[in-house]
Every structure is written in C-alpha cells, then in structure tokens.
Amino acid sequence: MKAAILGTGSWGTAFGRHLCHKWDRVVLWGIETAQVDSINRTGTNPDFLPGVDLPPTLRATTDLGDCLDGADAVFVVVPSQAVRGVVEQVAACPQLADGVPVVNMAKGFEVKTLKRLSEVLDESLAAAGGRDRHPVGVLLGPSHAEEVARELPTAVVLAGLPGGDWAHWQTWISGPFFRAYTNDDLIGVEIATGFKNIIALAVGMADGLGTGDNTRGTLMTRGMVELARLGCALGGKRETFAGLAGMGDMITTCISRHSRNRNFGEAVTGGDTDPQELLADRIQVVEGVYMTQAALKLSEKLQIELPITKQVHDVLFSGKPPRQAMRELMERELRPE
C-alpha cells in the first residue's frame, strides 16, 4: 500500500509517520526543494516537526507525478485556501489511478466561494472528468500534529461522499494509537472542525487579556451554540456537534498549548501590532482567520446571529481592541439561554 500525502507541514508529516505502521510506502509532496531535501537527508522535518525521527519508508518529493504514481489513497494536507489549486493539479496528473480516494485533512471553508473543502475537491475533480472515478472524503478532528508524532492516543472522524468504501479506509487509517470513526454527516463534520478555530481565537484573546477559566468556559459553551446555529442552517446534524468533530475539536483547540489559533489570538492582545502584520510573520497558517471571514459572510447571508464570530472578525480586520470586543459581548441584551 502506498499513501500520497500532499503537504510537508507538521500535520502531513505526523500523519505520514503514523501511516508507516501499516502502509508499505508513504510519500510527501512539497513545493520547497530545500525542505524536501532536508526531510530526505536527515530523516526529520526540522522546519515543522523538529526532533521527531521519520521512518525509512517515508520520503518526500517535489514531483507530483512521483508522489501520485502507484498511490492507493491521496491525502490533501495543505492550507484551506490552497486546496483548490493543488487538487486541480492532482486531477490533471496522469499518474493518478482510477478509483483512488482523495481525502481532505485541512479545516475550514474556501473564503472566496464559501464552499466546504469537500465541495472544492469534488468540483476540482469533476472539472478534469474525475468526479465519478475518485471518492471524496475528509479526515478531521482533535489531532495536534505534535501529539500524533509522539504517538499519543488520538481519535478522528472519517466522512465522505456516497460511493466510497469508508469502512475499508477506516481500517487502513486506524492504528495502535490513532483511531478513526466513520460519520455519515459530512457537512456537520466539516463545519464543526472549521468553526472551532474561530472560538479558539476568541479564547486566546481572552487569555491574553488575563481572564480566567470562567471566561474560557463561557466562550467555548456559547461558541458551541454559534456552531450549532450555523451548522444546522447549512445542513449539518446537531448530534455531530456533540462528538469528536464538534465538542472534541473545540475543547482541544481552545485549551492546547499546541493550538496555533489559540496562540495567535493571545498574540493579538500582546501589543500594538496589527493582526494582519502578525499573521504575515507566521510560518504556519492560522486557519481560523480565514474561517472567521467565511462564517461571518455565511451568517449575514443566512441571517444568523454569531456574536462571538462578529467580535473576533472586528478585532482581526477592523482594528477593534480585544478588550472592547470582550466588553461588548458582555453588555449585549440579556436573554434566556
């Protein structure tokens, strides 16, 4: 069995390391020659996952055809706003064999179109005539790369469009420390795992302001309310939001020291630097920033109230001081829970 993993960041590398327990070959595809050479030369990924040894059955390449040639499954682990462009390249590549599933592992929506990333995959494959030949799925949930790389117990959710044998791939993806559950609510899984990054940004801002556990619990709980409002309006199932993709990913992302969204939210409160300037200095993508834009646009389109999302957006894009945003949330009109 060969796995093609598109992306050489921390998550793609950690997941590839995990797959080496079962799969004969794992190939990472990247676009930076120096980084790819470093992975192959040192057997580590010093840029994104320093100190973690990689198995000899894992290698990296800048040649997409080489990565896809003979692959039994393709896993897309690139930033959300890059997914369409990458999958269009994959769909046009002659080395991609018929029947190979394409599974997205990025979290969020495409801001320009407000579409879920499985929809982006489906459209990109369809444009090249490959919609019926490649099952489309997602693998998402509470899964920090740093912990997966250290083989700490982790559980995620595998969901896909009809036509894929997702129970079969569940078996191949799962391992001694990495457990995949299937879920037939593809819409709910994608919305939940993308939206929680917005709340993690809010929690980080609150932490940066010196608030405590009461505030954190409030934001996470009311954040779940906003998630359910938007998720149900878009066709997700409410019970999904109480599972790994919803509550599980929300808790993990909001409290973890590994969470780049929580950490970025905290950094925003640390001085006078514009949030967009802070973002430009980040090596890793902060997906919650893009998801905030998408969620606010969707809420306006659907006429759904998302007060936390709106305040996070105003801090990130309108220059509102985080402390003012917190005060405005607390001073909203009183109402039943």
Active site includes 2? no
pLDDT tens track for 304-322: 999 999 999 999 999 999 9
User: Tell me, what's the pLDDT at 130?
Assistant: 58
User: Tell me, what's the pLDDT at 277?
Assistant: 83
pLDDT tens track for 197-222: 999 999 999 999 999 999 999 999 99
Q: Which candidate, 110, 111, 93, places its Cα nearest to that of 102?
A: 93
Q: Which candidate, 130, 122, 89, 81, places its Cα nearest to that of 103?
A: 122
CB burial readout 220-233, b (16+ within 10 A) else e: bebbbebbbebbbe
User: Tell me, what's the pLDDT at 128?
Assistant: 76
User: Tell me, what's the pLDDT at 274?
Assistant: 83
| Identified catalytic residue from 2, 107, 196, 310 | 196
User: Tell me, what's the pLDDT at 201?
Assistant: 97
In order of their start, the domains of the chain are: 2-184 (3.40.50.720), 187-330 (1.10.1040.10)
pTM, 2 dp: 0.94
Low-confidence ranges of the chain (pLDDT < 70): 130-131
List the beta bridge partners of residue 138: 104, 159
Question: In a 10 Å sphere around its CB, with 0-12 CB exposed, 13-18 middle and 19+ buried, how is residue 136 labelled?
Answer: buried
Q: Contact at 8 Å (CB) between 132 and 102?
A: no
Tell me the HSE value of 273 on the side-chain side, using a 13 A CA sphere: 15
